[in-house]
Structure 1
Amino acid sequence: MKIKFLSVLFLAFVLLAFGLPKSIQKKVDKAIKDTYQVDTFLFESKLISEDIASTLPSKFGTDNFFEIKSDSTLLGYAYVAKAPSKTDQFDYLVLLDSDLIVKKAKVLVYREDYGGEIGSKRWLKQFIGKTQNDQLKYGDNIVAISGATISVRSMTEAMNNLLASLKILNQKAAL
């Protein structure tokens, strides 16, 4: 009986320990509502087996990759992660449709004095429509921003890693 109680307590702790911080979750929820044009939705962690996750260029865990559903219909996926800037990191969100095509990219929290222009809708819209078969190149098909070189390169690399990871997940039928 004691072991069963401890198991239930541990499971409850694990389930409550994961997820996004409240301030980030609010921004993610707003982006989902605006992008998918829904008022209510389910936002659930999409578990990727450790065997597959360990081979991916991007980090996939219980706290950064989510399925978005409305009335049990899969609308798409949300990927939340951090990327390095000059002296800190910034949080970003990528929303994908059910075919793994980028619907939206958003910088959620930028912690530097300079380079915040990467959070502009105008700059981020260049990622919309990108698929697992695209290769992004700074200064080629990704526009440079003066004063934000490190952040732009970092976001470009993060997006490339995500797209490559999605390709692997799709090939292994993990999505």
Structure 2
Amino acid sequence: MKLNARFTFLPIILFIIVSFSGKHSDKIQKKVTKEITSYFDTEDFSTAVVKISDVDNALVKAEFGKENLLSISGSDGLLGYAYIGNAPSKTATFDYLVIFDKDFVIATSKVLIYREEYGGEIGSKRWLKQFIGKSKNDDVKFGENVDAISGATISVRSMTNAISNLLKSMKILHQKEVI
């Protein structure tokens, strides 16, 4: 009986270690690479982690401490930036990607991994296109300039809040000349 209890907790412990290790899983990294390749229409690019100090990270709502803000460069120089985030849904979390142009204007976004039975509609390109063109100077608010999705209210609110917090954080970091 004790042996079964140990094996029951092993997946939970592994999930916690992977979730908080600071590095992204290979699965997420592959999806990020695929999206960057697709958006910029090139396989010839490199990424570099944009370091945000703990002091500056403490000033913003978005999390920047897990190597999740990347600069993307191609043969002609800077292409843009990518942010990999995680947001809560009803009982789990989902991972998402936001690709910015050079001026930190949202170029595209994608739900990378959705872990719920309901609410996955937030991953549709049609719904996500609402964020394209938004910048650090824009407010995004559920019900005002972001549409609801029937059956996905919690996830819609969560994704909207995550994007809003990210844009507000970018504004603060830009004002402090961190980015």
Q: Report the TM-score, using the length of structure 1 for normalisation.
A: 0.87
Aligned pair 1:174/2:178, yes or no? yes
Residue segments in structure 1 that go unaligned for 5+ positions in a row? 1-16
Aligned pair 1:28/2:29, yes or no? no
What amino acid is aligned across from residue 104 of structure 1 in structure 2? T
Aligned pair 1:110/2:114, yes or no? yes
**Quick check: 2:22–2:65 contact (8 Å CA) kept in 1?**
no
Match of 1:154 among 158, 165, 168: 158
Residue segments in structure 2 that go unaligned for 5+ positions in a row? 1-20
What amino acid is aligned across from residue 143 of structure 1 in structure 2? D
Q: Secondary structure at the match of 2:177?
A: coil
1:39 is displaced (CA, Å) by 1.3
> How many equivalent pairs are there?
159
| CA–CA distance in structure 2, aligned partners of residues 57 and 104 of structure 1 | 21
Residue equivalent to 1:6: none
**Quick check: 1:45–1:62 contact (8 Å CA) kept in 2?**
no
**Quick check: 1:47–1:62 contact (8 Å CA) kept in 2?**
no
**Identical-pair percentage:** 52
Aligned pair 1:145/2:146, yes or no? no
Q: Secondary structure at the match of 1:131?
A: coil
1:71 is displaced (CA, Å) by 2.3
1:49 is displaced (CA, Å) by 1.6
Further displaced range: 112-121 or 70-79: 70-79
Alignment of 1:1-175 (within 5 A): 19-71=23-75, 73-175=77-179
Residue equivalent to 1:11: none
Q: Secondary structure at the match of 1:92?
A: strand
| CA–CA distance in structure 2, aligned partners of residues 139 and 63 of structure 1 | 32
**Quick check: 1:105–1:127 contact (8 Å CA) kept in 2?**
yes
| Off by >4 Å, runs of 4+ in structure 1 | none
| CA–CA distance in structure 1, aligned partners of residues 67 and 25 of structure 2 | 10
The CA deviation string for residues 100-124 of structure 1, in whole angstroms up to 9 with x for no partner, is 0000110000000100000001100
Q: Secondary structure at the match of 2:122?
A: helix
The CA deviation string for residues 98-149 of structure 1, in whole angstroms up to 9 with x for no partner, is 1000001100000001000000011001100000011111111101000000
